[in-house]
Amino acid sequence: MTYENILSSMLEGVTSDVDKREGSIIYDALAPCALKLAETYFELNNFLNLVFSDTTVGIYLDRCVADFGLSRKQATKAIRKIITSGVVPIGTRWAIEDTTYKVIEFITVGEYKAECEQYGDIGNTYTGTLQSLDNISGITANLTAILLSGQEEENDENLRDRFYNKVRMPATSGNTYHYRQWALEVEGIGDCKVFPIWNGAGTVKVLIVDSNKEVDETLEATVATHIEEVRPIGATVTVDSPTAKTIEATSTITLDGSKTLEEVKASFEEKLKKYLNSTVFKTYSISYAMIGSILLTTPGVSDYENLLVNSGTANIAIESTEIPILGAVTLTEVVD
Protein backbone atom coordinates (compact mmCIF):
# COMPACT_ATOMS: atom_id res chain seq x y z
CA MET A 1 0.00 0.00 0.00
CA THR A 2 2.26 2.73 -1.31
CA TYR A 3 1.40 6.39 -1.69
CA GLU A 4 1.15 6.02 -5.46
CA ASN A 5 -1.14 2.97 -5.29
CA ILE A 6 -3.43 4.52 -2.70
CA LEU A 7 -3.73 7.78 -4.62
CA SER A 8 -4.41 5.93 -7.88
CA SER A 9 -7.14 3.86 -6.21
CA MET A 10 -8.76 6.97 -4.74
CA LEU A 11 -8.74 8.78 -8.09
CA GLU A 12 -10.34 5.76 -9.77
CA GLY A 13 -13.34 6.30 -7.49
CA VAL A 14 -13.86 9.81 -8.84
CA THR A 15 -16.24 10.13 -11.78
CA SER A 16 -14.69 10.60 -15.21
CA ASP A 17 -16.29 13.98 -15.79
CA VAL A 18 -14.03 15.52 -13.12
CA ASP A 19 -10.52 16.77 -13.93
CA LYS A 20 -8.16 14.31 -12.12
CA ARG A 21 -4.84 15.51 -13.52
CA GLU A 22 -1.97 16.45 -11.18
CA GLY A 23 -2.60 19.97 -9.93
CA SER A 24 -6.37 19.70 -10.22
CA ILE A 25 -8.59 20.43 -7.23
CA ILE A 26 -9.55 16.80 -6.62
CA TYR A 27 -5.94 15.61 -7.08
CA ASP A 28 -4.59 18.16 -4.61
CA ALA A 29 -7.36 17.29 -2.15
CA LEU A 30 -6.72 13.52 -2.23
CA ALA A 31 -2.89 13.54 -2.34
CA PRO A 32 -2.29 14.55 1.33
CA CYS A 33 -4.83 11.98 2.51
CA ALA A 34 -3.12 9.27 0.42
CA LEU A 35 0.24 10.21 1.92
CA LYS A 36 -1.10 9.92 5.47
CA LEU A 37 -2.70 6.57 4.69
CA ALA A 38 0.60 5.28 3.24
CA GLU A 39 2.39 6.39 6.43
CA THR A 40 -0.23 4.58 8.52
CA TYR A 41 0.22 1.33 6.60
CA PHE A 42 3.99 1.63 6.99
CA GLU A 43 3.64 2.07 10.75
CA LEU A 44 1.22 -0.86 10.96
CA ASN A 45 3.86 -3.09 9.36
CA ASN A 46 6.35 -1.94 11.97
CA PHE A 47 3.85 -2.59 14.75
CA LEU A 48 3.52 -6.19 13.56
CA ASN A 49 7.31 -6.59 13.83
CA LEU A 50 7.13 -5.34 17.42
CA VAL A 51 4.68 -8.10 18.36
CA PHE A 52 6.82 -11.14 17.49
CA SER A 53 9.91 -12.19 19.43
CA ASP A 54 12.20 -12.60 16.40
CA THR A 55 11.76 -8.99 15.21
CA THR A 56 10.77 -6.98 18.28
CA VAL A 57 13.26 -4.64 19.98
CA GLY A 58 13.75 -2.50 23.08
CA ILE A 59 10.86 -2.13 25.51
CA TYR A 60 8.64 -4.21 23.24
CA LEU A 61 11.04 -7.14 23.58
CA ASP A 62 10.93 -6.61 27.35
CA ARG A 63 7.14 -6.92 27.28
CA CYS A 64 7.29 -9.97 25.02
CA VAL A 65 9.66 -11.97 27.24
CA ALA A 66 7.94 -10.83 30.45
CA ASP A 67 5.07 -13.21 29.62
CA PHE A 68 7.58 -16.04 30.13
CA GLY A 69 9.00 -14.74 33.40
CA LEU A 70 12.10 -13.10 31.92
CA SER A 71 13.36 -9.55 32.36
CA ARG A 72 16.30 -7.62 30.95
CA LYS A 73 19.44 -7.68 33.09
CA GLN A 74 20.27 -4.23 34.36
CA ALA A 75 23.66 -2.53 34.24
CA THR A 76 25.89 -3.11 37.25
CA LYS A 77 28.67 -1.16 38.95
CA ALA A 78 32.28 -2.29 39.15
CA ILE A 79 33.85 -3.05 42.52
CA ARG A 80 37.56 -2.18 42.57
CA LYS A 81 40.45 -2.42 45.02
CA ILE A 82 42.00 0.83 46.21
CA ILE A 83 45.46 0.88 47.80
CA THR A 84 46.11 3.88 50.03
CA SER A 85 49.06 5.29 51.94
CA GLY A 86 46.94 5.76 55.08
CA VAL A 87 43.52 5.37 56.64
CA VAL A 88 40.58 6.75 54.65
CA PRO A 89 36.99 6.92 55.92
CA ILE A 90 34.31 4.66 54.47
CA GLY A 91 32.16 6.68 52.08
CA THR A 92 34.91 8.97 50.78
CA ARG A 93 34.91 9.58 47.05
CA TRP A 94 37.78 9.45 44.57
CA ALA A 95 38.11 10.12 40.86
CA ILE A 96 40.17 9.07 37.87
CA GLU A 97 39.52 10.26 34.30
CA ASP A 98 35.72 10.41 33.85
CA THR A 99 34.83 7.94 36.63
CA THR A 100 34.32 8.29 40.37
CA TYR A 101 34.54 5.69 43.15
CA LYS A 102 33.15 5.50 46.68
CA VAL A 103 34.99 3.56 49.39
CA ILE A 104 32.54 0.94 50.70
CA GLU A 105 34.55 -1.58 52.73
CA PHE A 106 37.84 -2.03 54.59
CA ILE A 107 39.87 -5.04 53.42
CA THR A 108 43.17 -4.79 55.30
CA VAL A 109 45.65 -2.09 56.22
CA GLY A 110 45.98 0.22 53.23
CA GLU A 111 43.44 -1.67 51.10
CA TYR A 112 39.76 -0.90 50.52
CA LYS A 113 36.87 -1.91 48.30
CA ALA A 114 35.44 0.91 46.24
CA GLU A 115 32.32 0.97 44.10
CA CYS A 116 32.25 2.85 40.82
CA GLU A 117 29.48 5.42 40.79
CA GLN A 118 28.93 4.97 37.05
CA TYR A 119 27.08 1.92 35.76
CA GLY A 120 28.55 -0.34 33.09
CA ASP A 121 31.96 -1.53 31.97
CA ILE A 122 33.48 1.95 32.16
CA GLY A 123 34.23 1.09 35.78
CA ASN A 124 36.61 -1.64 34.56
CA THR A 125 38.57 0.68 32.31
CA TYR A 126 41.06 2.72 34.31
CA THR A 127 43.86 2.04 36.80
CA GLY A 128 46.28 4.42 38.43
CA THR A 129 46.42 7.40 40.76
CA LEU A 130 43.13 8.65 42.20
CA GLN A 131 42.24 12.21 43.06
CA SER A 132 40.33 12.89 46.28
CA LEU A 133 36.91 14.52 45.89
CA ASP A 134 36.60 15.07 49.65
CA ASN A 135 39.73 17.18 50.16
CA ILE A 136 41.65 14.40 51.92
CA SER A 137 45.23 15.63 52.13
CA GLY A 138 48.42 13.76 52.88
CA ILE A 139 47.13 10.41 51.60
CA THR A 140 47.64 8.92 48.16
CA ALA A 141 45.34 6.34 46.62
CA ASN A 142 45.69 4.04 43.63
CA LEU A 143 42.97 2.16 41.76
CA THR A 144 44.10 -1.42 41.14
CA ALA A 145 42.40 -4.80 40.74
CA ILE A 146 38.86 -5.46 39.53
CA LEU A 147 37.06 -7.36 42.29
CA LEU A 148 33.72 -7.49 40.49
CA SER A 149 33.44 -6.16 36.98
CA GLY A 150 30.78 -3.69 35.94
CA GLN A 151 28.46 -4.73 33.14
CA GLU A 152 26.34 -2.87 30.60
CA GLU A 153 22.60 -3.36 30.42
CA GLU A 154 21.72 -6.56 28.59
CA ASN A 155 21.35 -5.96 24.87
CA ASP A 156 18.48 -7.21 22.71
CA GLU A 157 20.53 -10.02 21.17
CA ASN A 158 21.43 -11.61 24.51
CA LEU A 159 17.92 -11.19 25.92
CA ARG A 160 16.42 -12.76 22.80
CA ASP A 161 18.86 -15.68 23.08
CA ARG A 162 17.86 -16.24 26.73
CA PHE A 163 14.21 -16.19 25.68
CA TYR A 164 14.83 -18.80 22.98
CA ASN A 165 16.77 -20.95 25.43
CA LYS A 166 13.88 -20.89 27.86
CA VAL A 167 11.12 -21.76 25.40
CA ARG A 168 13.08 -24.15 23.18
CA MET A 169 15.17 -25.97 25.77
CA PRO A 170 12.92 -27.07 28.64
CA ALA A 171 14.74 -26.87 31.97
CA THR A 172 13.57 -29.48 34.47
CA SER A 173 14.93 -31.37 37.47
CA GLY A 174 18.46 -30.05 37.25
CA ASN A 175 19.11 -31.12 33.66
CA THR A 176 21.75 -29.49 31.45
CA TYR A 177 19.33 -26.81 30.27
CA HIS A 178 18.49 -25.99 33.89
CA TYR A 179 22.10 -25.22 34.76
CA ARG A 180 22.39 -23.12 31.62
CA GLN A 181 19.26 -21.19 32.56
CA TRP A 182 20.50 -20.59 36.12
CA ALA A 183 23.87 -19.30 34.92
CA LEU A 184 22.30 -16.97 32.36
CA GLU A 185 20.06 -15.47 35.04
CA VAL A 186 23.07 -13.77 36.67
CA GLU A 187 23.74 -10.13 35.81
CA GLY A 188 26.62 -9.77 33.37
CA ILE A 189 26.59 -13.32 31.99
CA GLY A 190 26.39 -13.43 28.21
CA ASP A 191 26.67 -17.16 27.56
CA CYS A 192 27.66 -20.42 29.21
CA LYS A 193 28.43 -24.04 28.48
CA VAL A 194 27.47 -26.94 30.74
CA PHE A 195 29.46 -30.16 31.14
CA PRO A 196 27.37 -32.79 32.98
CA ILE A 197 29.20 -35.60 34.82
CA TRP A 198 32.49 -33.92 33.94
CA ASN A 199 34.29 -35.43 36.94
CA GLY A 200 32.13 -38.43 37.76
CA ALA A 201 28.53 -38.93 38.84
CA GLY A 202 26.88 -35.97 40.51
CA THR A 203 29.35 -33.39 39.15
CA VAL A 204 28.56 -30.49 36.84
CA LYS A 205 30.92 -27.93 35.33
CA VAL A 206 29.68 -24.60 34.03
CA LEU A 207 31.91 -22.39 31.87
CA ILE A 208 30.82 -18.74 31.67
CA VAL A 209 31.60 -15.63 29.62
CA ASP A 210 30.44 -12.06 30.19
CA SER A 211 27.96 -10.07 28.11
CA ASN A 212 30.75 -9.22 25.64
CA LYS A 213 31.46 -12.97 25.17
CA GLU A 214 34.81 -12.52 26.93
CA VAL A 215 36.47 -14.15 29.93
CA ASP A 216 35.66 -12.43 33.24
CA GLU A 217 36.81 -14.44 36.23
CA THR A 218 35.26 -11.96 38.68
CA LEU A 219 31.81 -13.32 37.77
CA GLU A 220 32.59 -16.92 38.71
CA ALA A 221 31.82 -16.55 42.43
CA THR A 222 28.52 -14.77 41.75
CA VAL A 223 27.35 -17.49 39.38
CA ALA A 224 28.48 -20.24 41.74
CA THR A 225 26.58 -18.67 44.63
CA HIS A 226 23.40 -18.33 42.56
CA ILE A 227 23.52 -21.91 41.30
CA GLU A 228 24.24 -23.17 44.81
CA GLU A 229 21.00 -21.56 45.97
CA VAL A 230 18.84 -23.28 43.34
CA ARG A 231 20.60 -26.51 42.34
CA PRO A 232 19.31 -30.00 43.27
CA ILE A 233 20.60 -31.51 46.51
CA GLY A 234 23.66 -33.67 45.99
CA ALA A 235 25.10 -32.12 42.87
CA THR A 236 28.65 -30.78 43.03
CA VAL A 237 28.94 -27.73 40.79
CA THR A 238 32.13 -26.10 39.52
CA VAL A 239 31.89 -22.70 37.86
CA ASP A 240 34.89 -21.72 35.78
CA SER A 241 35.92 -19.55 32.86
CA PRO A 242 37.05 -20.91 29.49
CA THR A 243 40.61 -20.61 28.33
CA ALA A 244 41.13 -17.73 25.93
CA LYS A 245 42.73 -18.68 22.61
CA THR A 246 44.24 -15.68 20.84
CA ILE A 247 43.53 -15.28 17.13
CA GLU A 248 46.05 -13.10 15.28
CA ALA A 249 45.94 -12.05 11.65
CA THR A 250 48.43 -10.46 9.24
CA SER A 251 47.98 -9.58 5.58
CA THR A 252 49.07 -7.29 2.78
CA ILE A 253 46.14 -5.36 1.33
CA THR A 254 45.36 -3.18 -1.67
CA LEU A 255 43.29 -0.12 -0.79
CA ASP A 256 40.58 1.19 -3.10
CA GLY A 257 41.19 4.80 -2.08
CA SER A 258 37.99 5.31 -0.08
CA LYS A 259 39.54 4.61 3.34
CA THR A 260 42.91 5.05 5.01
CA LEU A 261 44.91 2.07 6.22
CA GLU A 262 44.09 2.97 9.84
CA GLU A 263 40.36 3.13 9.08
CA VAL A 264 40.47 -0.22 7.30
CA LYS A 265 42.34 -1.83 10.19
CA ALA A 266 39.82 -0.53 12.76
CA SER A 267 36.86 -1.71 10.67
CA PHE A 268 38.42 -5.13 10.03
CA GLU A 269 39.19 -5.62 13.72
CA GLU A 270 35.60 -4.75 14.63
CA LYS A 271 34.15 -7.20 12.10
CA LEU A 272 36.63 -9.93 13.02
CA LYS A 273 35.86 -9.56 16.72
CA LYS A 274 32.15 -9.83 15.97
CA TYR A 275 32.79 -13.05 14.03
CA LEU A 276 34.88 -14.53 16.82
CA ASN A 277 32.21 -13.65 19.40
CA SER A 278 29.58 -15.37 17.27
CA THR A 279 31.50 -18.66 17.51
CA VAL A 280 31.80 -18.74 21.32
CA PHE A 281 30.55 -22.12 22.64
CA LYS A 282 29.04 -22.84 19.20
CA THR A 283 31.84 -24.02 16.91
CA TYR A 284 35.16 -25.77 17.38
CA SER A 285 37.20 -24.06 14.69
CA ILE A 286 37.86 -20.59 13.36
CA SER A 287 37.56 -20.53 9.59
CA TYR A 288 40.56 -19.22 7.66
CA ALA A 289 38.31 -18.70 4.63
CA MET A 290 35.80 -16.72 6.70
CA ILE A 291 38.50 -14.36 7.94
CA GLY A 292 39.61 -13.84 4.35
CA SER A 293 36.04 -13.07 3.34
CA ILE A 294 35.70 -10.59 6.21
CA LEU A 295 38.90 -8.85 5.12
CA LEU A 296 37.86 -8.69 1.48
CA THR A 297 34.45 -7.19 2.35
CA THR A 298 35.90 -4.60 4.71
CA PRO A 299 35.17 -1.10 3.37
CA GLY A 300 38.27 0.33 1.67
CA VAL A 301 39.82 -3.03 0.72
CA SER A 302 40.18 -3.81 -2.98
CA ASP A 303 42.18 -7.03 -2.59
CA TYR A 304 44.49 -8.85 -0.21
CA GLU A 305 47.33 -11.36 -0.28
CA ASN A 306 49.53 -13.36 2.10
CA LEU A 307 46.83 -13.67 4.77
CA LEU A 308 48.13 -15.52 7.80
CA VAL A 309 46.00 -16.52 10.77
CA ASN A 310 48.11 -17.47 13.77
CA SER A 311 51.07 -17.64 11.36
CA GLY A 312 49.37 -20.19 9.09
CA THR A 313 46.73 -20.71 6.42
CA ALA A 314 44.66 -23.43 8.10
CA ASN A 315 41.54 -23.32 10.24
CA ILE A 316 42.25 -22.78 13.95
CA ALA A 317 40.94 -25.53 16.20
CA ILE A 318 39.06 -24.43 19.33
CA GLU A 319 38.85 -26.94 22.18
CA SER A 320 35.57 -27.47 24.06
CA THR A 321 36.89 -25.46 27.01
CA GLU A 322 38.33 -22.60 24.91
CA ILE A 323 36.95 -19.44 23.35
CA PRO A 324 38.62 -17.33 20.65
CA ILE A 325 39.68 -13.75 21.42
CA LEU A 326 41.09 -11.17 19.07
CA GLY A 327 44.84 -10.66 19.23
CA ALA A 328 47.17 -8.53 17.16
CA VAL A 329 46.06 -7.55 13.67
CA THR A 330 48.74 -6.35 11.24
CA LEU A 331 47.75 -4.95 7.85
CA THR A 332 50.34 -3.66 5.39
CA GLU A 333 49.45 -1.63 2.32
CA VAL A 334 50.72 -2.76 -1.08
CA VAL A 335 53.23 -0.23 -2.39
CA ASP A 336 53.46 0.06 -6.18
In sequence order, the β-bridge partners of residue 192 are 208
Residue 55 lies in a domain: no
Q: What is the mean pLDDT of residues 75-82?
A: 96
Residue 31 lies in a domain: yes
Q: pLDDT confidence of 336, banded at 50, 70, 90?
A: low
Which residue did the predictor score with more confidence, 1 or 239?
Answer: 239
Helical spans, DSSP H, in the chain:
3-12, 25-49, 58-66, 156-168, 176-184, 220-230, 261-278, 288-296
247 lies in the same domain as 329: yes
Q: What is the mean pLDDT of residues 11-26?
A: 90
The strand order across the sheet containing 243-255 reads: 301-309, 243-255, 322-333
The per-residue pLDDT for range 117-144, each reduced to its tens digit, is: 999 999 999 999 999 999 898 999 999 9
Distance CA 194, CA 281 (A): 10
164 lies in the same domain as 236: yes
219 lies in the same domain as 256: no
The per-residue pLDDT for range 284-325, each reduced to its tens digit, is: 899 999 999 999 999 999 999 999 999 999 999 999 999 999
Residue 9 lies in a domain: yes
Question: Contact, 54 vs 164, CB < 8 A?
Answer: no
* Number of domains the chain contains: 4
Residue 54 lies in a domain: no
CATH of residue 178's domain is 3.30.300
Distance CA 210, CA 2 (A): 45
Residue 276 lies in a domain: yes
Q: What is the mean pLDDT of residues 253-264?
A: 94
* Average model confidence (pLDDT) across the chain: 93
Last residue of a domain, one of 99, 121, 148: 148
180 lies in the same domain as 230: yes
The per-residue pLDDT for range 143-184, each reduced to its tens digit, is: 999 999 999 999 999 999 999 988 888 877 788 899 999 999
pTM for the whole thing?
0.73
The H or E element spanning position 138 is none
209 lies in the same domain as 257: no
Q: Please give the pLDDT value at position 235.
A: 83
Please tell me the total number of residues recorded for the chain in this structure.
Answer: 336
- Its domain, for residue 7, covers 3-49
